[in-house]
Structure 1
Amino acid sequence: MFQLYHQSVARLYLVDGLPLLLLRLYLAPVMIQAGWNKASSFENIVDWFGNEDYGLGLPAPLVLAFLATAAELVGGIFLLFGALTRLVSIPLLITMIVAMFSVHAKNGWLAIADASSWLADGTIFYNQSVMEAPQKLNAAKSLLQEYGHYDWLTSSGNLVILNNGVEFAATYFVMLLVLLVYGGGRFVSVDYLISKWRSSQKS
């Protein structure tokens, strides 16, 4: 039994690049879309980065907005093709850290408000807004059922209350950290093809 297990594990090298490919294919459209959204409304992003009243109040907002936009848009494209994977992971990791601490941290962990979750009910973190989410959701449903096209509005899924916690940014951070450490893998990867070509040139 143990021998069969070890033999099976040993054969996993045949697909050792697959998880890294899947990470890239998952992250690339997320980053490209985020970068494209910033580029499409760049002036508003600069204003939001710098404004202390309703934004982040960050210094040098023009520079930071440009760097965040470029990191996500260009970095996402590079991730898609597995080109300079480790290098582009670095600014994306920094972007995720800034997003976690400057935008999402005050909301706790959850991306979607769930009053039944131990991640917001006081077991680890108490979030009053999340605890009030069921009442807000019921009020919204009641209004929509009475005055709106509720069936049409919910035909693509249930209504939820956005909490905007660190959950997604932290998940992307972990995925990018894996790519920084292990690279883009050997499937559909420019990095791997270049590395293979260099090895053939030396031999």
Structure 2
Amino acid sequence: MAKLIALLNRALEKSKKLDFVALLSIRLYLLPTLYEGAHAKVTGFSGLVEWFATPVAQGGLGMPLPTLMATLATGTEVAGLICIALGLFTRIVTVPLAILMTVAGLSVHWSHGWAAIADKTTEASMRLSGLMTWLQHSFPGRFNYVTELGDPIVLNNGIEFTVTYAVMIMVLFFYGAGRYVSADHWLAKVFPRWPK
């Protein structure tokens, strides 16, 4: 039994040589989300400012200094996208990204509960079910076209995705971008005091 445990420990120790794969995977997973957020904010900046300024009772966020807040949010996502992609200043850029995720989670998603996807008991899902029933009876050919690649869903806009991204960002804060496939790794070899 001792030999088996020793063999297992050696194998686990050797697997640590590939630990950079996990951090690279997190970075790659976050990129499409960061890109979509940054792109939407840059191309729809005036609408973002308006949404930040609009009172909560009218469907907005009711934030003070909406232009400044929109600029900070946009800048954070653009810088986050570039830095996470390159593995550059990774631990540093995760701080404003974590703040942005926290603000988004609390101001936009928290009131919708945990689930990102609405369950079958919500009003939105019941309405979707009614639409699908009507579509199936009224336009059977279109129903098959709509459902052949999977069932339509309704997003609940809950905090689940935001928390998932925040956990990934937290991992990058504590462990950095990883070895070999990050600018931080190579710059730290040239500049020993480089933040990695």
Q: Gapped runs of 5+ residues in structure 2?
A: none
Quick check: 1:18–1:187 contact (8 Å CA) kept in 2? no
Matched, 1:150 2:132: no
Quick check: 2:125–2:153 contact (8 Å CA) kept in 1? no
CA distance in 2, matches of 1:134, 1:49: 28
1:174-196 Cα distance to aligned partner (Å, 9 max, x none): 00011011110013100000001
Quick check: 1:50–1:58 contact (8 Å CA) kept in 2? yes
Equivalent positions of 1:186-197 (< 5 A) are: 186-197=179-190
State which of 32, 35, 41 in structure 2 corresponds to 1:32: 35
Quick check: 1:33–1:73 contact (8 Å CA) kept in 2? no
CA distance in 1, matches of 2:9, 2:47: 56
Q: Gapped runs of 5+ residues in structure 1?
A: 116-129
1:111-161 Cα distance to aligned partner (Å, 9 max, x none): 00124xxxxxxxxxxxxxx54454223202023224452222233321112
CA distance in 1, matches of 2:37, 2:122: 29
CA distance in 2, matches of 1:92, 1:162: 23
State which of 2, 5, 8 in structure 2 corresponds to 1:2: 5
Matched, 1:74 2:79: yes
**TM-score (normalised: structure 1):** 0.85
Q: Which has the higher helix share?
A: 2
CA RMSD of aligned residues (A): 1.5
**TM-score (normalised: structure 2):** 0.88
Q: Percent identity?
A: 39
State which of 110, 118, 134 in structure 2 corresponds to 1:105: 110
User: Which residue number corresponds to residue 47 of structure 2?
Assistant: 44
User: Which residue number corresponds to residue 62 of structure 2?
Assistant: 57
User: Which residue number corresponds to residue 125 of structure 1?
Assistant: none
| Letter of the 2:131 counterpart | A
Give the SS at the match of 1:161.
Answer: coil
State which of 11, 15, 19 in structure 2 corresponds to 1:12: 15
Give the SS at the match of 1:193.
Answer: helix
CA distance in 1, matches of 2:100, 2:40: 15
1:19-59 Cα distance to aligned partner (Å, 9 max, x none): 11111111122102211011111111111111012211111
Larger displacement relative to structure 2 (154-163 or 72-81): 154-163
Quick check: 2:98–2:170 contact (8 Å CA) kept in 1? yes
User: Which residue number corresponds to residue 161 of structure 2?
Assistant: 168
CA distance in 1, matches of 2:180, 2:131: 47
| Letter of the 1:67 counterpart | L
Judged with a 3 Å threshold, the aligned counterparts in structure 2 of structure 1 residues 167 and 144 are, in CA distance, closer, same or farther, namely same
